[in-house]
């Protein structure tokens, strides 16, 4: 009796838990029922009988035909209407004008079509969904048009090998594209990036460790000032270095000066993102390390920094990507040259964005093509840096990839072997220590504690 | 296994007995004195960390203080008129940031006005509408948009967008020219032969390009906030029969208000400081120009970029003063932004 009741109640309740559970339940309780048991006395209203077909889960996220057809229909209708009307009733012109009119007509058509079958909240919902999607589409189209345009305009220069291996020292503005290249700018960018990496990475990571691991009045001051300096317009970093390094200290404009300006600009950005990454390191890892008796510097070095490694790498790379593309501080501090200069200490040195800016400004068709080609090379560099950052930094602190997890397991089993070997060595000299036995009842340290 | 359990019980029992003892005698347990003895390694570690923190602090403060000292010479000689003069002729003692600051603010406002709906729509699309596979792609692409160098945006704006957008400028002027700031003085929208050059190199075009750089910054903050909307409230709205847009309007937008405002202002701060893209598009002018569609504009940072090498001594000091004013404005905007984010309901854990 009770078993029947339980079962009928469970029929409704456990439906969502899946068929496997239901079957298991049936198998266990079906035996308890007596053979001559009458039909169940209580039938709960609304519960389907056992022969009812299993409920099919509704696909909430999938597009149904009722949603798709009005959308396609309105798109086609709006396109035809716009092509018919454009230029007659509207005073707009050009591609952007056409797209704007098309979009408005489409929204209107779609709203009307949907309102034929749906109520008002549903119409609002559909129209707003379309608006949100089109915002994303606009953003992506803009991004793609920026990237594609730079490559299309630069391709004339990019196809020549000399563009990558020569500099512009013996190339006039009217020379064909088969002469001259931007190797000096590529090398200049690499040198400047390297120097600013050497400055910012140790300083930035040490400072973010300081912000996270210590607590004093100075800490909050440093954090506030760093936050403030992320607002520093990049041109001011250049102006500062120009005024101090060049005008007051009397050094010439050089790659080193530009690197320092870039470092001043990227340092706060890097510290802020590294600060966030370190804050996400789980506290129990720190506590576990402290509980094992590690001093704080060992905790930082062996626990905190390795845990946050991927996030830290990402913040460094994104900071550098920002610095690589920065033109304004380099414009004021690096000077301009068209020949190769490997020495960051003396003589002007150029970077890719500065070269692109200068070449395009000259206005000659060949120089313009070189300028766009330079921008395309810069874009490739940024894309590479960005992809590396994505690959390394996909996961939050403490979550390991499969390879890292395997490595951790291997390390810890090596540790276990080492500890065991040491125990065995100790056991051979000292008989009172119980031999390690993981499956035995008493833990190995009990003998010491009881004594 | 059994041994471990026994141990655990034993330990628990021991703790309990001691606490009962204290209750019985009525004395609170004397607090243990905690003494942290730092080893040599820790002392070196803390010394190094504090040194780097102090060093960064010193650099950052030095930049600000140095700019202020250098600027003071110009500020002393011009006084209050620095804020109201629009011409820039430091050699004749006549200079001020009225025109260039106005241009800066107008460019930034146009940029934010264009970027705000796009970034908000994109953020909502990413968090609420897009399927999972599309979501991660969109997040990556928006991040990439933030990493594209500004000189690339400048090239795009100056050589591709400028030609295409003039039609839109003309149309806006024709239909909405009665709104004062959309008027273009020398343009005749009814004549098809009128020159296009009255519309080029304008605040509007610079604003559109800067909007491209601002949009991902705003979008990241808003996405972060929208993704923290409590699941219970979302489901509550759905359970009451709300549509998706109804849920967004009633739950997501109010929850994320602080993030929306804060993200917008962060973008504004970035827009104010943008240099090279603006330099490539505008043609500088030094009058108070409210007409955003009209040719010619100016901004503080592009002004500094163009004039630094032509100035010396006093002129440079005047440029520093202009830079300092710009820095002060971006500082106020950024701190306001983080204040908004921090005091909003969603902002406790988000980083902006």
Taking the mean position of all CA atoms in its chain, how far away is CA A49? 51
Closest CA to B138 of A385, A128, A133, A71: A133
Same domain, yes or no: A199 and A345:
yes
Asked if residue A318 has pLDDT above 50, the reply is yes
Least-confidence region, from A37-46, B78-87, B176-185: A37-46
Asked if residue A444 has pLDDT above 80, the reply is no
CA distances from A96 to A2, A102, B166, B167, B173 (A): 74, 10, 9, 8, 15
Least-confidence region, from A83-92, B18-27, B34-43, B225-234: B18-27
Asked if residue B277 lies in contact with residue B210, where contact means CB atoms within 8 angstroms, the answer is: yes
Q: Please provide the distance, in angstroms rounded to a whole number, between the alpha carbons at the two ends of chain B.
A: 49
Note whether residue A160 is domain-resident: no
Same domain, yes or no: A31 and A93:
no
Same domain, yes or no: A135 and A213:
no
Looking at residue A396, what is its pLDDT?
Answer: 57
Q: Give per-residue pLDDT as tens, A246-259.
A: 888 888 888 999 99
3-state secondary structure of B242: coil
3-state secondary structure of B236: helix
Average pLDDT of span B276-293: 87
Q: Give per-residue pLDDT as tens, B259-269.
A: 898 889 889 98
- Shortest distance between the Cα of B142 and any Cα of chain A, in A, equals 8
Q: What CA dihedral angle connects A307, A308, A314 and A315, to 10 degrees? A: -170
* Residue A245 pLDDT grade (very low, low, confident, very high; cuts 50, 70, 90): confident
Average pLDDT of span A13-17: 40
Q: Which residues of B touch A209 (CB under 8 A)?
A: 49
Q: What CA dihedral angle connects B186, B189, B191 and B193, to 10 degrees? A: 70
Q: Which residue of B has its CA nearest to A356?
A: B151
Please state, in angstroms and rounded to a whole number, the distance separating the CA atoms of residues A46 and B179.
Answer: 64
- What total of structural domains would you count in chain A? 3
Q: Do A325 and B159 touch (CB under 8 A)?
A: no
Among A392, A408, A437, residue at a domain's last position:
A392
Top pLDDT among A168 and B235 is at: B235
Same domain, yes or no: A245 and A196:
yes
Domains of chain B: 78-343 (1.10.3720.10)
Asked if residue B132 lies in contact with residue B166, where contact means CB atoms within 8 angstroms, the answer is: no
Q: Do A135 and B50 touch (CB under 8 A)?
A: no
- Shortest distance between the Cα of B251 and any Cα of chain A, in A, equals 14
DSSP assigned state of A349: -
Please state, in angstroms and rounded to a whole number, the distance separating the CA atoms of residues A50 and A47.
Answer: 9
Query: Chain A contact for B126, CB < 8 A?
Result: yes
Taking the mean position of all CA atoms in its chain, how far away is CA B3? 60
Half-sphere exposure (CA, 13 Å, Cβ side) for A346? 0
Please state, in angstroms and rounded to a whole number, the distance separating the CA atoms of residues B298 and B306.
Answer: 11
Q: Which of A122, A136, A445 to mutate to test the interface with B (most CBs of B within 10 A)?
A: A136
Q: Pairing mode, if any, of strands B94-95 and B88-89?
A: antiparallel
CB interface of B with A, residues 1-20, below 8 Å: 1-4, 7
Asked if residue A170 lies in contact with residue A180, where contact means CB atoms within 8 angstroms, the answer is: yes
Q: Do B54 and A237 touch (CB under 8 A)?
A: no
3-state secondary structure of B26: coil
| Cβ atoms within 10 Å of A16's Cβ, excluding its own | 9
Q: Give per-residue pLDDT as tens, A340-369.
A: 888 888 888 889 999 999 999 888 888 899
DSSP assigned state of A241: H
Q: What are phi and psi of B58, to 5 degrees?
A: -65, -45
Same domain, yes or no: A237 and A381:
yes
Calculate the average pLDDT of chain B.
Answer: 83
- Shortest distance between the Cα of A442 and any Cα of chain B, in A, equals 5
Same domain, yes or no: A243 and A297:
yes
- Shortest distance between the Cα of B290 and any Cα of chain A, in A, equals 24
Note whether residue A305 is domain-resident: yes
Same domain, yes or no: A337 and A378:
yes
Asked if residue A118 has pLDDT above 70, the reply is yes
The closest CB to that of B121, out of A93, A100, A132, belongs to A132
Note whether residue A57 is domain-resident: no
Asked if residue A440 has pLDDT above 50, the reply is no
Q: Do A234 and B52 touch (CB under 8 A)?
A: no
Q: Which residues of B touch A372 (CB under 8 A)?
A: 155
CA distances from B301 to A297, A312, A429, B298 (A): 43, 31, 76, 9
Average pLDDT of span A91-108: 81
CB interface of B with A, residues 241-270, below 8 Å: 242-246, 248, 269
Asked if residue A277 has pLDDT above 50, the reply is yes
Dihedral of CA A394/A400/A406/A407: which sign? positive
Asked if residue A321 lies in contact with residue A386, where contact means CB atoms within 8 angstroms, the answer is: yes
The closest CB to that of A218, out of B53, B175, B244, belongs to B53
3-state secondary structure of B95: strand
Same domain, yes or no: A196 and A142:
no
- Shortest distance between the Cα of B26 and any Cα of chain A, in A, equals 31
The closest CB to that of A332, out of B57, B308, B334, belongs to B308
Query: Chain A contact for B153, CB < 8 A?
Result: yes
Looking at residue A35, what is its pLDDT?
Answer: 47
List the structure tokens of A416.
């276990």
Q: Give per-residue pLDDT as tens, B293-313.
A: 888 888 999 999 988 888 777
Give the position of tokens 């395997």: A406
- Residue A38 structural domain: 1-49
Please state, in angstroms and rounded to a whole number, the distance separating the CA atoms of residues B205 and B297.
Answer: 10
Same domain, yes or no: A41 and A133:
no
Q: Do A235 and B243 touch (CB under 8 A)?
A: no
Note whether residue A409 is domain-resident: no
DSSP string, B293-318: TSB-B--HHHHHHHHGGG--THHHHH
Q: Do A95 and B280 touch (CB under 8 A)?
A: no
Asked if residue A12 lies in contact with residue A48, where contact means CB atoms within 8 angstroms, the answer is: no
Asked if residue A436 lies in contact with residue A418, where contact means CB atoms within 8 angstroms, the answer is: no
Looking at residue B240, what is its pLDDT?
Answer: 93
Average pLDDT of span A19-28: 43
* Residue A89 pLDDT grade (very low, low, confident, very high; cuts 50, 70, 90): low
E strand residue ranges, B53-202: 88-89, 94-95
- Shortest distance between the Cα of B117 and any Cα of chain A, in A, equals 7
Please state, in angstroms and rounded to a whole number, the distance separating the CA atoms of residues A376 and A151.
Answer: 6
Looking at residue A12, what is its pLDDT?
Answer: 39
Q: Which of B37, B40, B45 to mutate to test the interface with A (most CBs of A within 10 A)?
A: B45
Helix-, strand-, coil-residue percentages of chain B, each rounded to 5: 75, 0, 25
Asked if residue A142 has pLDDT above 60, the reply is yes
Q: Which of B276, B306, B341 to mutate to test the interface with A (most CBs of A within 10 A)?
A: B276
Average pLDDT of span A279-290: 89
Please state, in angstroms and rounded to a whole number, the distance separating the CA atoms of residues B46 and A296.
Answer: 9
Question: Which of the residue ranges A22-26, A91-95, A420-424, B337-341 has the most confident prediction, judged by mean pLDDT?
Answer: A420-424
Looking at residue A13, what is its pLDDT?
Answer: 39
Closest CA to A44 of A78, A69, A10: A10
Looking at residue B235, what is its pLDDT?
Answer: 92
Same domain, yes or no: A78 and A147:
yes
Same domain, yes or no: A310 and A356:
yes
Average pLDDT of span A191-220: 90
Q: Which residues of B touch A129 (CB under 8 A)?
A: 129, 244-245
Q: Which residues of A touch B118 (CB under 8 A)?
A: 135, 138-139
Please state, in angstroms and rounded to a whole number, the distance separating the CA atoms of residues A344 and A217.
Answer: 39
Q: Which residues of A touch B305 (CB under 8 A)?
A: 235, 328, 331-332
Asked if residue B272 has pLDDT above 50, the reply is yes
Please state, in angstroms and rounded to a whole number, the distance separating the CA atoms of residues B324 and B97.
Answer: 11
CB interface of B with A, residues 299-318, below 8 Å: 301, 304-305, 308, 316
Note whether residue A447 is domain-resident: no
List the structure tokens of A127.
């129209």
Question: Which of the residue ranges A178-182, B232-236, B314-318 has the most confident prediction, judged by mean pLDDT?
Answer: B232-236
Note whether residue A344 is domain-resident: yes
In CATH, what number is assigned to the domain containing residue A328? 1.10.3720.10
Among A343, A377, A392, residue at a domain's last position:
A392
Average pLDDT of span B280-298: 85
Looking at residue B18, what is its pLDDT?
Answer: 45
Q: Give per-residue pLDDT as tens, A151-190.
A: 999 998 889 888 888 888 887 777 888 888 889 999 999 9
Helix-, strand-, coil-residue percentages of chain A, each rounded to 5: 70, 0, 30
Q: Chains A and B: how many Cβ contacts under 8 Å?
A: 298
Query: Chain A contact for B154, CB < 8 A?
Result: yes
3-state secondary structure of B202: strand
Q: What are phi and psi of B89, to 5 degrees?
A: -135, 75
- Residue A87 Rama label (left phi>0; alpha psi -120 to 50; beta): left
Note whether residue A55 is domain-resident: no
List the structure tokens of A270.
């890097």
Dihedral of CA B291/B296/B302/B307: which sign? negative
List the structure tokens of A407.
């490595």
Q: Which residue of A has its CA nearest to B281?
A: A361
Note whether residue A26 is domain-resident: yes
Half-sphere exposure (CA, 13 Å, Cβ side) for A420? 9
* Residue B122 pLDDT grade (very low, low, confident, very high; cuts 50, 70, 90): very high
Q: What contacts A176, CB < 8 A, 6 or more positions away? A: A366
Would you call B55 exposed, middle or buried from its count of C-beta atoms within 10 A (0-12, 13-18, 19+)? Answer: middle
Q: Which of A223, A227, A233 to mutate to test the interface with B (most CBs of B within 10 A)?
A: A233
Q: Do B305 and A235 touch (CB under 8 A)?
A: yes
Closest CA to A238 of A105, A375, A334: A334
Same domain, yes or no: A148 and A231:
no
Asked if residue A304 lies in contact with residue A278, where contact means CB atoms within 8 angstroms, the answer is: yes
Q: Give per-residue pLDDT as tens, B133-153.
A: 898 889 889 989 988 999 999
Looking at residue B167, what is its pLDDT?
Answer: 78
Looking at residue A8, what is its pLDDT?
Answer: 41
Q: Which residues of A touch B71 (CB under 8 A)?
A: none
3-state secondary structure of A229: helix
Q: Do A357 and B280 touch (CB under 8 A)?
A: yes
Asked if residue B2 has pLDDT above 50, the reply is no
- Shortest distance between the Cα of B152 and any Cα of chain A, in A, equals 6
Q: Which of B43, B56, B209 to mutate to test the interface with A (most CBs of A within 10 A)?
A: B56
């Amino acid at each position: 009796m009770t078993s029947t009741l339980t079962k009928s109640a469970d029929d409704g309740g456990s439906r969502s838990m899946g068929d496997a559970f239901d079957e298991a339940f049936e198998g266990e309780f079906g035996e308890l029922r007596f053979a001559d048991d009458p039909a169940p006395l209580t039938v709960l209203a609304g519960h389907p009988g056992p022969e009812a077909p299993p409920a099919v889960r509704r696909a909430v996220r999938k597009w149904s035909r009722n949603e798709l057809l009005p959308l396609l229909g309105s798109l086609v209708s709006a396109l035809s209407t716009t092509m018919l009307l454009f230029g007659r009733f509207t005073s707009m012109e050009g591609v952007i004008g056409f797209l704007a009119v098309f979009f408005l007509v489409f929204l209107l058509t779609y709203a009307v079509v949907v309102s034929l079958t749906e109520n008002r909240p549903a119409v609002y919902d559909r129209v707003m969904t379309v608006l949100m999607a089109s915002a994303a589409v606009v953003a992506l189209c803009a991004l793609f048009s920026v990237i594609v345009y730079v490559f299309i305009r630069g391709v004339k220069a990019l196809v020549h090998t000399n563009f990558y291996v020569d500099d512009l020292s013996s190339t006039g503005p009217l020379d064909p594209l088969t002469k001259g290249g931007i190797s000096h700018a590529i090398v200049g960018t690499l040198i400047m990036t390297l120097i600013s990496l050497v400055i910012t990475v140790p300083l930035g990571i040490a400072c973010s460790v300081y912000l996270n691991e210590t607590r004093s009045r100075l800490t909050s001051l440093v954090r506030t000032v760093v936050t403030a300096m992320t607002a520093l317009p990049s041109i001011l970093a250049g102006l500062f270095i120009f005024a101090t390094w060049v005008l007051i200290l009397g050094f010439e404009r050089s790659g080193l000066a530009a690197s320092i300006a870039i470092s001043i600009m990227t340092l706060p950005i890097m510290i802020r993102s590294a600060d966030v990454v370190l804050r996400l390191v789980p506290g129990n890892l720190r506590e576990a390390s402290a509980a094992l008796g590690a001093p704080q510097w060992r905790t930082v070095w062996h626990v905190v920094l390795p845990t946050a490694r991927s996030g830290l790498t990402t913040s460094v790379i994104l900071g550098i990507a920002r610095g690589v593309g920065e033109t304004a501080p380099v414009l004021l501090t690096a000077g301009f040259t068209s020949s190769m200069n490997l020495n960051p200490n003396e003589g002007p040195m150029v970077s890719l964005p500065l070269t692109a800016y200068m070449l395009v400004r000259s206005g000659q068709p060949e120089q313009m093509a070189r300028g766009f080609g330079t921008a395309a090379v810069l874009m490739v560099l940024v894309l590479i840096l960005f992809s590396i950052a994505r690959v390394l930094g996909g996961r939050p602190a403490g979550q390991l990839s499969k390879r890292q997890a395997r490595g951790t397991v291997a390390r810890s089993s090596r540790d276990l072997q080492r500890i065991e070997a040491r125990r065995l060595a100790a056991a051979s000299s000292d008989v009172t220590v119980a031999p390690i036995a993981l499956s035995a009842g008493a833990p190995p340290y009990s003998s010491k504690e009881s004594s | 296994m059994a041994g471990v359990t026994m141990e655990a019980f034993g330990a628990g029992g021991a703790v309990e007995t001691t606490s009962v003892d204290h209750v019985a005698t009525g004395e609170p347990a004397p607090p243990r004195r905690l003494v942290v003895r730092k080893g040599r390694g820790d002392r070196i570690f803390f010394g190094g960390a504090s040194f780097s923190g102090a060093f960064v602090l010193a650099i950052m403060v030095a930049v600000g203080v140095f700019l202020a000292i250098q600027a003071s010479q110009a500020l002393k000689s011009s006084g209050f008129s620095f804020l109201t003069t629009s011409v820039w002729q430091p050699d004749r003692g006549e200079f001020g940031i009225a025109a260039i600051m106005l241009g800066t603010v107008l460019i930034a406002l146009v940029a934010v006005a264009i970027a705000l709906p796009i970034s908000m729509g994109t953020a909502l699309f990413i968090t609420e509408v897009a399927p999972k596979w599309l979501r991660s792609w969109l997040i990556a692409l928006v991040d990439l948009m933030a990493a594209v160098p500004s000189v690339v945006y400048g090239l795009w704006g100056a050589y591709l967008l400028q030609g295409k957008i003039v039609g839109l400028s003309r149309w806006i002027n024709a239909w909405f020219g009665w709104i004062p700031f959309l008027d273009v003085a020398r343009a005749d929208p009814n004549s098809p032969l009128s020159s296009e050059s009255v519309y080029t190199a304008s605040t509007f075009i610079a604003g559109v390009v800067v909007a491209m750089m601002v949009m991902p910054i705003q979008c990241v903050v808003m996405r972060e906030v929208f993704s923290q909307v409590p699941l219970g409230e979302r489901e509550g709205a759905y359970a009451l029969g709300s549509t998706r847009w109804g849920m967004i309007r009633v739950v997501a937008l109010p929850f994320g208000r602080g993030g929306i405002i804060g993200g917008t202002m962060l973008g504004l701060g970035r827009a104010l400081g943008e240099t090279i893209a603006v330099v490539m598009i505008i043609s500088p002018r030094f009058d108070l120009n409210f007409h955003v569609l009209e040719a010619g504009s100016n901004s503080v940072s592009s002004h500094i970029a163009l004039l630094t090498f032509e100035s010396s001594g006093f002129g440079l000091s005047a440029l520093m003063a202009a830079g300092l004013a710009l820095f002060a404005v971006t500082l106020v905007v950024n701190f306001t932004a983080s204040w908004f984010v921090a005091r909003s309901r969603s902002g406790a854990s988000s980083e902006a």
